[in-house]
Structure 1
Amino acid sequence: MERVTMADVAKEAGVSKSTVSQFLNKRYEYMGEETRRKIQQAITELGYQPNYLARSLKQKRTSMIGIIVANIKHRFSTEVSHAIEEYCYDADIQAIVCNADDDPVKEKKYIEMLMAKQVDGLIIFPTGKNIELYDSMIHAKYPVVFMDRKAGDINLPRIVSNNIESAYQAVEHFVKQGHTRISIVTQSLTITPRAERVEGYKRCLEDYQIDWNEDYVINNPISDLQEELEKMFSSNHPPTALLAGNDRVFLELLKFTKRKEMTIPDDFSLIVFDNIQYAAVSTPAVSTISQPAAEMGRKAAELLLKQIQKEPVEAKEHVYPCELVIRET
C-alpha cells in the first residue's frame, strides 16, 4: 500500500503543504475554521499518518521522555508516573516507563538505552549507585529530574517529600497517645527516603526524652521482615506502636498479624508512610502519611519540559509536605 504524504493531504484539501504542516503542529493562529475542517477531512479520508521520525529529525526532538522507576510495585511510584504521563500527554509528548527493580545495573542499562533512542529527557527515581553516569548527563546538559530520592551531591532538579518532618510528626502522635515503646520498620537503608524516615523517628524520641531501643528498629530486605518481626514481637516488651516505612512493609505486617492472629490496633497502633489506595475504606481504616504524589509528578514533568525547551531551570531541591491522616489504626 502506497504511503499517503503531506502533499496528498494538501492537494485533497486544496491548501499548501505549509498550511497542512501548521495544522499538524497545532498552529492555528492564522487558519480559518473552514480550512481546518478541510484538512481534517482530507486526513481522515486518505488515512494519513504523520511521519514522526521525519518530524523529529527536523525538530531535533523525538517528543518522547523516559521515566525510570526504582520499583514499580510501590503505590507512590505508580501515582507519580501516572501524573507525569498525563502531563506529557497534554503536551503531546509520549512517556516511556521503565522499572529498574532497585537494581543499579538495570537502571544504568535503561538510562543508556533511552538516551540511545534519543528521548528528549529523563525523570529518574535514582538507585544512587550510578554517580558517574548521572554526572555525565549533567555535563552533557541532558534534561534530567530526580524524583523521590537523592544521590550524593548531584546538582540537578530534585522532587522529594519532607521525610524527616513527616516521620517525626507520626512518632509524635504516638507519644501524645501515651506510647513509649515505638517501632519503625523499613526496608534496608539503601536510599535516602528510608534513612530520613528513621532519622525523623530518632529525633522525635530524643526530643521527648524517650530512649530509643535498637530492637524496635528494623531495616531489612522484604524477604527478612517476617523473621525480624517475629523476634521483635516475641520479646518481653514488644512495641505498642509501629511506623511502617512504606506500603510493601505494610503488606508484610498484614501477613505477620494474620499468621500470629494479632489485630490492629488492639495489639499495636499503626501508621503507614505511603499512599495506601484503600486506606480509608479498609477495616480498620489505616492511618497514613500521605505524599502528594500527583502534585510531585506534575512538577517533575514541568521541570523536565522546561529543560527540553531550553528554559532556565534551577538545580535545586523541591520539598513537598506530607499529610498525617489519622484513622482507626
Structure 2
Amino acid sequence: MKKTTISDVAKHAQVSKSTVSQYLNERYEYMREETRERIENAIEELNYQPNNVARSLKLKSTATIGVIVANILHSFSTQVIRSIEDTLNENDFSTIICNADDDPEKEKKYIETLLARQVDGLIVFPTSGNRELYKRLIDSNFPIVFVDRYVNGLNGDAVMLDNEKAIHLAVEHLLTNGYENIAVLTTSIDTAVVPRVERVEGYKSAMERFDLPIREGYIKSMDPPFLKKGIDELFQLENPPQAIVSGNDLTLMEFLKYASDHDLEIGRDVGLVTIDEVSFAEVHYPSLTTIAQPTFEMGKKAVELVLHKFESEQYDEPQIYRFDPSIIIRKSAEKAGARI
C-alpha cells in the first residue's frame, strides 16, 4: 500500500502543502478554524503518519528528554521515573532512561551519548562527579533539571525532598512512642551525596531539638556491603539503640536482614522508621512506618521545569524546589509510653 504523503493530505483538505506543514508544527495563529478542521479530518481519514525524524530536524527538536538516574535500585528513583515518563508522554515527548550505578564515569558517558542523540533536555539524579560538565551545560542554557540532589557550586534547578523535615518526623514519632536511644543508618556520605548528608545533619538537629545527646556511635553511614558490620557494631555497644531511623530503602533492606538473622523483633526489641515508602511496607510483619516522598508530584515538577526551559526564551532564576514528606504510621515503631 502506498504511504500517504503530505501532498495527499493537502489535496484532500484542499489546501497547500505549506498550510498542512504549519498545522503539523502547530503554527496556526492565522489559520481559520474551518481550515484546521479540514486538515485534521484529512489526516484522520487518510491515516497520515508524519515523518517525525524529518520534522524534528527541521524544528531542531527530537521531542525526547534524557533521564539519568544515579541508582535505579532505589524505590524512590523508580517511582519518580514513572511519573516523569507518564508526564512527558502526556506532552508528546519520548524518554530515554539511563542508570549510572552511582558511577561518575558511567554518568559522563550517558550524558555525552544523550547529547549526541540531540535530546531536548536532561533530567538528572546526579552522582557527585561531573560538576564541570554540568556547569558547561548550564552556562550554555541547555535545559537541565536535577532531581533528589543538587550539584554543589552550580546554579541549576533542582527538585528535592525537605530532608531535614523527613528526619525530624521520624525522630519525633519514635520519641512519641517512648524511644529515646535512636540511631540513624544511611548509605555512605564519603562522596557528599546531598540527601544523605542532609539526613545525617537533620538527625543531629532533631536530637538537639528534643534535648537528646548526639552519640557519634549511633550514626552509621556506609556502603550497603559494609552496613551489616556497622549495624552489628551498634548492637554491641554498651547502650545499644532502642530504635533505628533508616535513611533509604537500601539501608532498610540491610537492617531487616540483620534483624532476621539475629532474632530482633521489630516493634518489640527495636523500633523502626524508614524514609521512602516501599512496596512491601504494609504487608511486612510488623507493618513498617515510613516517611513518604511525594514522588508523583516531584516527577511532574521536574518535567514542568525542563519543558519550560525548552519552550521558553525567558530566563528564570534557577532555584531548589523542596517538597514536604509525610509520615505513614503503621506498627514498626509502636511502644507504650510517650515522651512528648
Q: Same fold (TM over 0.5)?
A: yes
Shift of 1:241: 0.6
Cα deviation digits, residues 203-229 of structure 1 (max 9, x gap): 111232322222221101001111221
**Secondary structure of the residue that 2:149 maps to in structure 1?**
coil
**Secondary structure of the residue that 2:241 maps to in structure 1?**
coil
Q: Distance in 1 between matches of 2:229 and 2:195?
A: 23
Q: Distance in 2 between matches of 1:12 and 1:159?
A: 48
Q: Distance in 1 between matches of 2:323 and 2:43?
A: 46
Q: Does structure 2 conserve the Cα–Cα contact (< 8 Å) formed by 1:126 and 1:150?
A: yes
Unaligned 5+ segments in structure 2 are: 333-340
Q: Which residue of 2 aligns with 1:40?
A: 44
Deviates most, 235-244 or 277-286: 277-286
Q: Does 1:183 align with 2:183?
A: yes
Residue identity in the other structure for 1:77:
S
Q: Structure 2 matches for 1:137-216, cutoff 5 A?
A: 137-189=137-189, 190=191, 191-216=193-218
Residue identity in the other structure for 1:327:
R
Q: Distance in 1 between matches of 2:5 and 2:39?
A: 18
The CA RMSD over aligned residues, in Å, is: 2.0
How many positions carry a matched residue from both structures? Answer: 325
Q: Distance in 1 between matches of 2:205 and 2:38?
A: 67
**Secondary structure of the residue that 2:286 maps to in structure 1?**
coil
Q: Structure 2 matches for 1:1-329, cutoff 5 A?
A: 4-11=4-11, 15-22=15-22, 24-25=24-25, 30=33, 31=35, 33=37, 35-43=39-47, 48-189=48-189, 190=191, 191-310=193-312, 311-329=314-332
Normalised to the residue count of structure 1, the TM-score between the two structures is: 0.92
Cα deviation digits, residues 40-65 of structure 1 (max 9, x gap): 1212xxxx542222111211111111
Normalised to the residue count of structure 2, the TM-score between the two structures is: 0.89
Q: Distance in 1 between matches of 2:287 and 2:26?
A: 48
**Secondary structure of the residue that 1:178 maps to in structure 2?**
coil
Q: Does structure 1 conserve the Cα–Cα contact (< 8 Å) formed by 2:9 and 2:39?
A: no
Q: Structure 1 15/39 Cα, relative in aligned 2: closer, same or farther at 3 Å?
A: farther
Deviates most, 319-328 or 280-289: 280-289
**Secondary structure of the residue that 1:296 maps to in structure 2?**
helix
**Secondary structure of the residue that 2:67 maps to in structure 1?**
strand
**Secondary structure of the residue that 1:278 maps to in structure 2?**
coil
Q: Does structure 2 conserve the Cα–Cα contact (< 8 Å) formed by 1:20 and 1:39?
A: no
Shift of 1:17: 2.4
**Secondary structure of the residue that 2:204 maps to in structure 1?**
helix
Residue identity in the other structure for 1:303:
L
Shift of 1:91: 1.0
Q: Does structure 2 conserve the Cα–Cα contact (< 8 Å) formed by 1:306 and 1:313?
A: no
Cα deviation digits, residues 276-302 of structure 1 (max 9, x gap): 123234332210111111101111100
Shift of 1:113: 1.1
Shift of 1:144: 0.7
Residue identity in the other structure for 2:244:
L
Unaligned 5+ segments in structure 1 are: none
